[in-house]
Chains A and B, each alone.
Chain A
Amino acid sequence: MTRMAVFWILIPLFIGVLFIGLYRNLLAKLAVIFGASGRFIPWRDVDAAALGQAYADEVVFQRRIRLRGRVPWTRHILISWGFSVLFVFDLLTALLTKYLPSEPFLDGNVGWLFLKFGLNLSGMVLLAGLLIALARSVTTAGTEHARFNDTPGTAFLLLVVVTGFVAQGMRFANVPPQPGYGWALLGYWMGEAMRAGAPYAGSHAFVWVTHALLASAFLAYLGWSRMIHVFAAPLGRIFYSQTALREAKVRPVMEGLLKPRAGSR
Protein backbone atom coordinates (compact mmCIF):
# COMPACT_ATOMS: atom_id res chain seq x y z
CA MET A 1 0.00 0.00 0.00
CA THR A 2 1.45 3.38 -1.01
CA ARG A 3 1.59 6.46 1.21
CA MET A 4 -0.95 8.25 -1.01
CA ALA A 5 -3.31 5.26 -0.72
CA VAL A 6 -3.23 5.52 3.09
CA PHE A 7 -4.06 9.21 2.77
CA TRP A 8 -6.96 8.53 0.38
CA ILE A 9 -8.40 5.85 2.66
CA LEU A 10 -8.42 8.17 5.65
CA ILE A 11 -9.55 11.40 4.02
CA PRO A 12 -13.30 10.48 3.71
CA LEU A 13 -13.27 9.85 7.49
CA PHE A 14 -11.59 13.15 8.31
CA ILE A 15 -13.94 15.08 6.04
CA GLY A 16 -16.86 13.22 7.65
CA VAL A 17 -15.69 14.47 11.06
CA LEU A 18 -15.49 18.01 9.62
CA PHE A 19 -19.08 17.75 8.34
CA ILE A 20 -20.38 16.42 11.66
CA GLY A 21 -18.74 19.38 13.42
CA LEU A 22 -20.17 21.82 10.91
CA TYR A 23 -23.64 20.32 11.30
CA ARG A 24 -23.63 20.38 15.09
CA ASN A 25 -21.81 23.66 15.60
CA LEU A 26 -22.90 25.72 12.64
CA LEU A 27 -25.91 24.47 10.68
CA ALA A 28 -28.06 23.47 13.68
CA LYS A 29 -27.43 26.83 15.34
CA LEU A 30 -27.86 28.73 12.10
CA ALA A 31 -31.25 27.06 11.75
CA VAL A 32 -32.39 28.47 15.09
CA ILE A 33 -31.30 31.96 14.15
CA PHE A 34 -33.06 31.69 10.78
CA GLY A 35 -36.13 30.34 12.54
CA ALA A 36 -36.16 33.36 14.84
CA SER A 37 -35.39 35.86 12.13
CA GLY A 38 -37.81 34.82 9.42
CA ARG A 39 -35.58 32.28 7.61
CA PHE A 40 -34.19 32.58 4.11
CA ILE A 41 -34.86 35.50 1.85
CA PRO A 42 -35.99 34.67 -1.70
CA TRP A 43 -33.29 34.82 -4.39
CA ARG A 44 -35.05 37.72 -6.11
CA ASP A 45 -34.63 39.83 -2.96
CA VAL A 46 -30.88 39.24 -2.70
CA ASP A 47 -28.99 42.53 -2.93
CA ALA A 48 -26.08 41.49 -5.15
CA ALA A 49 -24.20 44.79 -4.76
CA ALA A 50 -24.34 44.58 -0.95
CA LEU A 51 -23.30 40.92 -1.15
CA GLY A 52 -20.27 41.81 -3.30
CA GLN A 53 -19.35 44.71 -1.02
CA ALA A 54 -19.61 42.50 2.09
CA TYR A 55 -17.46 39.83 0.42
CA ALA A 56 -14.79 42.39 -0.50
CA ASP A 57 -14.83 44.05 2.93
CA GLU A 58 -15.06 40.95 5.11
CA VAL A 59 -13.28 38.24 3.14
CA VAL A 60 -10.89 39.91 0.69
CA PHE A 61 -9.68 42.97 2.64
CA GLN A 62 -10.97 42.03 6.13
CA ARG A 63 -11.61 45.69 7.00
CA ARG A 64 -13.39 44.87 10.27
CA ILE A 65 -10.24 43.15 11.57
CA ARG A 66 -8.20 46.18 10.49
CA LEU A 67 -10.18 48.17 13.09
CA ARG A 68 -8.59 46.00 15.80
CA GLY A 69 -5.10 47.18 14.81
CA ARG A 70 -2.35 46.70 12.28
CA VAL A 71 -0.77 43.62 13.87
CA PRO A 72 -4.01 41.58 14.26
CA TRP A 73 -4.97 42.49 10.68
CA THR A 74 -1.54 41.55 9.26
CA ARG A 75 -1.60 38.27 11.20
CA HIS A 76 -5.10 37.40 10.01
CA ILE A 77 -4.66 38.39 6.38
CA LEU A 78 -1.37 36.46 6.08
CA ILE A 79 -2.93 33.33 7.61
CA SER A 80 -6.22 33.45 5.70
CA TRP A 81 -4.72 34.29 2.30
CA GLY A 82 -1.73 32.01 2.82
CA PHE A 83 -4.01 29.11 3.76
CA SER A 84 -6.52 29.70 0.94
CA VAL A 85 -3.92 30.05 -1.83
CA LEU A 86 -1.93 27.08 -0.46
CA PHE A 87 -5.10 24.96 -0.50
CA VAL A 88 -5.77 25.88 -4.15
CA PHE A 89 -2.15 25.08 -5.12
CA ASP A 90 -2.39 21.77 -3.23
CA LEU A 91 -5.44 20.80 -5.28
CA LEU A 92 -3.78 21.96 -8.51
CA THR A 93 -0.63 19.99 -7.69
CA ALA A 94 -2.60 16.81 -7.01
CA LEU A 95 -4.61 17.28 -10.20
CA LEU A 96 -1.78 18.24 -12.55
CA THR A 97 0.97 15.96 -11.27
CA LYS A 98 -0.94 12.88 -10.09
CA TYR A 99 -4.23 12.67 -12.02
CA LEU A 100 -3.59 14.40 -15.31
CA PRO A 101 0.21 14.34 -15.56
CA SER A 102 1.64 16.03 -18.62
CA GLU A 103 5.13 17.01 -19.82
CA PRO A 104 5.21 20.56 -18.34
CA PHE A 105 4.30 19.23 -14.89
CA LEU A 106 6.98 16.54 -14.68
CA ASP A 107 9.66 17.01 -12.01
CA GLY A 108 11.82 20.06 -12.79
CA ASN A 109 9.78 21.34 -15.77
CA VAL A 110 8.27 24.79 -15.95
CA GLY A 111 4.73 23.85 -14.83
CA TRP A 112 6.10 21.82 -11.93
CA LEU A 113 8.32 24.74 -10.88
CA PHE A 114 5.33 27.09 -11.08
CA LEU A 115 3.36 24.81 -8.74
CA LYS A 116 6.32 24.55 -6.35
CA PHE A 117 6.71 28.33 -6.39
CA GLY A 118 3.02 28.86 -5.60
CA LEU A 119 2.99 26.21 -2.87
CA ASN A 120 6.10 27.53 -1.19
CA LEU A 121 5.28 31.24 -1.47
CA SER A 122 1.77 30.73 -0.01
CA GLY A 123 3.23 28.38 2.62
CA MET A 124 5.77 31.03 3.60
CA VAL A 125 3.03 33.69 3.83
CA LEU A 126 1.04 31.33 6.06
CA LEU A 127 4.13 30.55 8.15
CA ALA A 128 4.83 34.27 8.67
CA GLY A 129 1.23 34.85 9.79
CA LEU A 130 1.35 31.91 12.19
CA LEU A 131 4.63 33.06 13.72
CA ILE A 132 3.14 36.54 14.28
CA ALA A 133 0.05 34.90 15.82
CA LEU A 134 2.16 32.74 18.11
CA ALA A 135 4.30 35.69 19.20
CA ARG A 136 1.12 37.69 19.86
CA SER A 137 -0.35 34.80 21.89
CA VAL A 138 2.71 34.98 24.12
CA THR A 139 2.91 38.77 24.41
CA THR A 140 -0.82 39.37 24.98
CA ALA A 141 -1.55 36.41 27.28
CA GLY A 142 -3.84 37.40 30.13
CA THR A 143 -4.76 40.77 28.60
CA GLU A 144 -7.92 42.00 26.84
CA HIS A 145 -6.06 41.71 23.50
CA ALA A 146 -5.88 37.93 23.98
CA ARG A 147 -9.66 37.67 23.35
CA PHE A 148 -9.21 37.01 19.64
CA ASN A 149 -6.17 34.72 19.96
CA ASP A 150 -6.51 31.03 19.09
CA THR A 151 -3.32 29.49 20.41
CA PRO A 152 -4.28 25.79 20.02
CA GLY A 153 -5.44 26.38 16.43
CA THR A 154 -2.29 28.38 15.65
CA ALA A 155 0.00 25.70 17.11
CA PHE A 156 -1.84 22.94 15.22
CA LEU A 157 -1.61 24.74 11.88
CA LEU A 158 2.03 25.66 12.53
CA LEU A 159 2.80 21.96 13.04
CA VAL A 160 1.13 21.16 9.71
CA VAL A 161 3.14 23.83 7.90
CA VAL A 162 6.48 22.99 9.52
CA THR A 163 6.14 19.24 8.79
CA GLY A 164 5.26 20.16 5.19
CA PHE A 165 8.40 22.22 4.74
CA VAL A 166 10.58 19.59 6.44
CA ALA A 167 9.13 16.82 4.22
CA GLN A 168 9.80 18.94 1.16
CA GLY A 169 13.30 19.82 2.33
CA MET A 170 14.09 16.12 2.76
CA ARG A 171 12.78 15.41 -0.71
CA PHE A 172 15.02 18.10 -2.26
CA ALA A 173 18.00 16.92 -0.18
CA ASN A 174 17.50 13.38 -1.53
CA VAL A 175 18.08 14.42 -5.16
CA PRO A 176 20.95 16.30 -6.83
CA PRO A 177 20.29 20.05 -7.19
CA GLN A 178 18.98 21.13 -10.60
CA PRO A 179 18.65 24.51 -12.29
CA GLY A 180 15.26 25.99 -11.48
CA TYR A 181 14.85 24.25 -8.13
CA GLY A 182 15.47 27.63 -6.52
CA TRP A 183 11.86 28.55 -7.50
CA ALA A 184 10.80 26.22 -4.68
CA LEU A 185 12.02 28.91 -2.25
CA LEU A 186 11.95 27.75 1.39
CA GLY A 187 11.47 24.07 0.46
CA TYR A 188 14.63 24.21 -1.66
CA TRP A 189 16.57 26.30 0.88
CA MET A 190 15.71 23.76 3.57
CA GLY A 191 16.78 20.95 1.26
CA GLU A 192 20.17 22.59 0.77
CA ALA A 193 20.51 23.12 4.52
CA MET A 194 19.64 19.45 5.15
CA ARG A 195 21.77 18.01 2.36
CA ALA A 196 24.55 16.95 4.76
CA GLY A 197 22.23 14.41 6.41
CA ALA A 198 20.87 12.96 3.13
CA PRO A 199 19.62 10.55 1.97
CA TYR A 200 16.42 10.58 4.00
CA ALA A 201 14.50 7.41 3.25
CA GLY A 202 12.47 6.17 6.20
CA SER A 203 12.49 9.57 7.90
CA HIS A 204 11.14 11.28 4.74
CA ALA A 205 8.30 8.75 4.52
CA PHE A 206 7.54 9.25 8.22
CA VAL A 207 7.50 13.06 8.00
CA TRP A 208 5.42 12.97 4.78
CA VAL A 209 2.79 10.69 6.35
CA THR A 210 2.80 12.77 9.54
CA HIS A 211 2.26 15.94 7.49
CA ALA A 212 -0.56 14.37 5.44
CA LEU A 213 -2.31 13.05 8.57
CA LEU A 214 -1.92 16.33 10.45
CA ALA A 215 -3.20 18.33 7.47
CA SER A 216 -6.24 16.03 7.15
CA ALA A 217 -6.85 16.13 10.91
CA PHE A 218 -6.69 19.92 10.79
CA LEU A 219 -9.53 19.94 8.25
CA ALA A 220 -11.59 17.83 10.68
CA TYR A 221 -10.59 20.16 13.55
CA LEU A 222 -12.02 23.18 11.67
CA GLY A 223 -15.58 22.12 12.52
CA TRP A 224 -14.98 21.54 16.23
CA SER A 225 -13.00 24.55 17.37
CA ARG A 226 -12.83 28.30 17.13
CA MET A 227 -11.49 27.68 13.64
CA ILE A 228 -15.14 27.19 12.62
CA HIS A 229 -15.09 30.96 12.12
CA VAL A 230 -13.39 30.20 8.78
CA PHE A 231 -16.86 29.15 7.55
CA ALA A 232 -19.13 31.01 9.94
CA ALA A 233 -17.74 34.54 10.03
CA PRO A 234 -17.87 35.27 6.28
CA LEU A 235 -21.25 33.54 6.07
CA GLY A 236 -22.69 35.63 8.90
CA ARG A 237 -21.32 38.90 7.57
CA ILE A 238 -22.55 38.20 4.07
CA PHE A 239 -26.04 37.28 5.34
CA TYR A 240 -26.24 40.40 7.44
CA SER A 241 -25.34 42.53 4.45
CA GLN A 242 -28.84 41.76 3.21
CA THR A 243 -31.37 44.38 4.25
CA ALA A 244 -34.27 41.97 3.70
CA LEU A 245 -32.76 39.48 6.15
CA ARG A 246 -32.05 42.14 8.77
CA GLU A 247 -35.61 43.43 8.45
CA ALA A 248 -36.96 39.89 8.71
CA LYS A 249 -35.12 39.57 12.00
CA VAL A 250 -36.17 42.91 13.45
CA ARG A 251 -39.85 42.72 12.44
CA PRO A 252 -40.97 39.84 14.68
CA VAL A 253 -39.05 41.35 17.60
CA MET A 254 -40.73 44.73 17.14
CA GLU A 255 -44.15 43.08 16.64
CA GLY A 256 -43.59 41.13 19.84
CA LEU A 257 -42.77 44.32 21.72
CA LEU A 258 -45.88 46.09 20.41
CA LYS A 259 -48.24 43.26 21.37
CA PRO A 260 -50.19 43.94 24.55
CA ARG A 261 -48.99 41.70 27.34
CA ALA A 262 -51.39 39.15 28.78
CA GLY A 263 -53.34 40.71 31.61
CA SER A 264 -52.60 44.29 30.57
CA ARG A 265 -55.30 46.66 29.30
Chain B
Amino acid sequence: MPPALRRFAWWSFFVTEAGLVAAASAYVGVATRDFWLVVASAVVAAIAYVAAVLRTPAPDLGDATAASRRWFWL
Protein backbone atom coordinates (compact mmCIF):
# COMPACT_ATOMS: atom_id res chain seq x y z
CA MET B 1 0.00 0.00 0.00
CA PRO B 2 1.36 3.46 -0.83
CA PRO B 3 2.58 5.13 2.39
CA ALA B 4 0.30 8.14 1.82
CA LEU B 5 -2.77 5.90 1.62
CA ARG B 6 -1.67 3.94 4.70
CA ARG B 7 -1.17 7.19 6.64
CA PHE B 8 -4.62 8.30 5.53
CA ALA B 9 -6.09 5.00 6.78
CA TRP B 10 -4.55 5.48 10.25
CA TRP B 11 -5.16 9.19 10.65
CA SER B 12 -8.74 9.21 9.38
CA PHE B 13 -9.71 6.44 11.79
CA PHE B 14 -8.04 7.80 14.91
CA VAL B 15 -9.12 11.41 14.31
CA THR B 16 -12.72 10.26 13.79
CA GLU B 17 -12.74 8.12 16.93
CA ALA B 18 -11.13 10.90 18.99
CA GLY B 19 -13.76 13.32 17.64
CA LEU B 20 -16.54 10.91 18.63
CA VAL B 21 -15.17 10.50 22.15
CA ALA B 22 -14.88 14.30 22.48
CA ALA B 23 -18.44 14.80 21.21
CA ALA B 24 -19.75 12.07 23.51
CA SER B 25 -17.95 13.52 26.52
CA ALA B 26 -19.63 16.87 25.85
CA TYR B 27 -22.91 15.01 26.41
CA VAL B 28 -22.11 12.40 29.10
CA GLY B 29 -19.45 14.45 30.89
CA VAL B 30 -15.80 13.63 31.57
CA ALA B 31 -14.67 10.91 33.99
CA THR B 32 -18.22 9.70 34.55
CA ARG B 33 -19.21 6.03 34.26
CA ASP B 34 -20.75 6.67 30.83
CA PHE B 35 -17.59 8.48 29.72
CA TRP B 36 -15.46 5.43 30.53
CA LEU B 37 -17.93 3.23 28.67
CA VAL B 38 -17.56 5.51 25.60
CA VAL B 39 -13.76 5.27 25.93
CA ALA B 40 -13.99 1.47 26.26
CA SER B 41 -16.13 1.34 23.13
CA ALA B 42 -13.58 3.44 21.21
CA VAL B 43 -10.71 1.26 22.50
CA VAL B 44 -12.45 -1.93 21.36
CA ALA B 45 -13.04 -0.31 17.95
CA ALA B 46 -9.37 0.71 17.78
CA ILE B 47 -8.14 -2.79 18.64
CA ALA B 48 -10.43 -4.29 15.99
CA TYR B 49 -9.28 -1.73 13.41
CA VAL B 50 -5.57 -2.27 14.09
CA ALA B 51 -6.10 -6.05 13.86
CA ALA B 52 -8.03 -5.65 10.60
CA VAL B 53 -5.36 -3.43 9.05
CA LEU B 54 -2.53 -5.74 10.07
CA ARG B 55 -4.33 -8.90 9.00
CA THR B 56 -5.88 -7.74 5.73
CA PRO B 57 -3.98 -9.47 2.92
CA ALA B 58 -2.99 -7.29 0.01
CA PRO B 59 -5.36 -8.23 -2.82
CA ASP B 60 -3.99 -8.67 -6.32
CA LEU B 61 -5.18 -6.61 -9.25
CA GLY B 62 -7.70 -9.31 -10.17
CA ASP B 63 -9.34 -9.11 -6.72
CA ALA B 64 -9.40 -5.34 -6.87
CA THR B 65 -10.97 -5.06 -10.30
CA ALA B 66 -13.43 -7.87 -9.54
CA ALA B 67 -14.59 -5.88 -6.51
CA SER B 68 -15.02 -2.79 -8.63
CA ARG B 69 -17.12 -4.72 -11.15
CA ARG B 70 -19.23 -6.19 -8.37
CA TRP B 71 -19.87 -2.89 -6.63
CA PHE B 72 -19.76 -0.57 -9.64
CA TRP B 73 -16.98 1.70 -8.65
CA LEU B 74 -13.83 2.98 -10.31
Which A residues fall within an 8 A CB radius of B? 1, 4-5, 8-13, 15-17, 19-20, 23-25, 27-36, 39-40, 98-99, 148, 226, 228-229, 232-233, 235-236, 239-240
Decide yes or no: A20 and B48 within 8 Å by CB, A25-B67, A229-B72 being known contacts: yes
Q: Which residues of B contact A239 (CB under 8 A)?
A: 74
Which B residues fall within an 8 A CB radius of A? 1-2, 4-6, 8-9, 12-13, 16-17, 20-21, 23-24, 26-28, 34, 37-38, 41-42, 44-46, 48-49, 52-53, 56, 58-61, 63-65, 67-68, 70-74
In the bound complex, do residue A233 and residue B73 qualify as a contact, i.e. CB atoms below 8 Å apart? yes
In the bound complex, do residue A35 and residue B2 qualify as a contact, i.e. CB atoms below 8 Å apart? yes
CA A28 to CA B65, docked complex, whole Å: 12
> Nearest B residue to A40 by beta-carbon distance?
B4
How near does chain A come to B11, taking the closest CB pair, in angstroms? 11
Decide yes or no: A12 and B21 within 8 Å by CB, A5-B27, A31-B2 being known contacts: yes
> Nearest A residue to B2 by beta-carbon distance?
A39
How near does chain B come to A6, taking the closest CB pair, in angstroms? 9
> Nearest B residue to A225 by beta-carbon distance?
B71
How near does chain B come to A80, taking the closest CB pair, in angstroms? 14
CA A23 to CA B4, docked complex, whole Å: 14
Query: Which of B41, B58, B61 is A13 in contact with, Cβ under 8 Å?
Result: B41
In the bound complex, do residue A8 and residue B13 qualify as a contact, i.e. CB atoms below 8 Å apart? no
How near does chain B come to A228, taking the closest CB pair, in angstroms? 6
- 16 CB < 8 A contacts A-B: A12-B20, A13-B41, A15-B17, A16-B13, A16-B44, A16-B46, A19-B16, A23-B13, A28-B58, A32-B63, A33-B61, A36-B61, A226-B72, A229-B73, A235-B74, A236-B73
In the bound complex, do residue A34 and residue B5 qualify as a contact, i.e. CB atoms below 8 Å apart? yes
In the bound complex, do residue B5 and residue A27 qualify as a contact, i.e. CB atoms below 8 Å apart? yes
Query: Which of A4, A19, A31, A236 is B1 in contact with, Cβ under 8 Å?
Result: A31
In the bound complex, do residue A23 and residue B49 qualify as a contact, i.e. CB atoms below 8 Å apart? yes
> Nearest A residue to B39 by beta-carbon distance?
A12
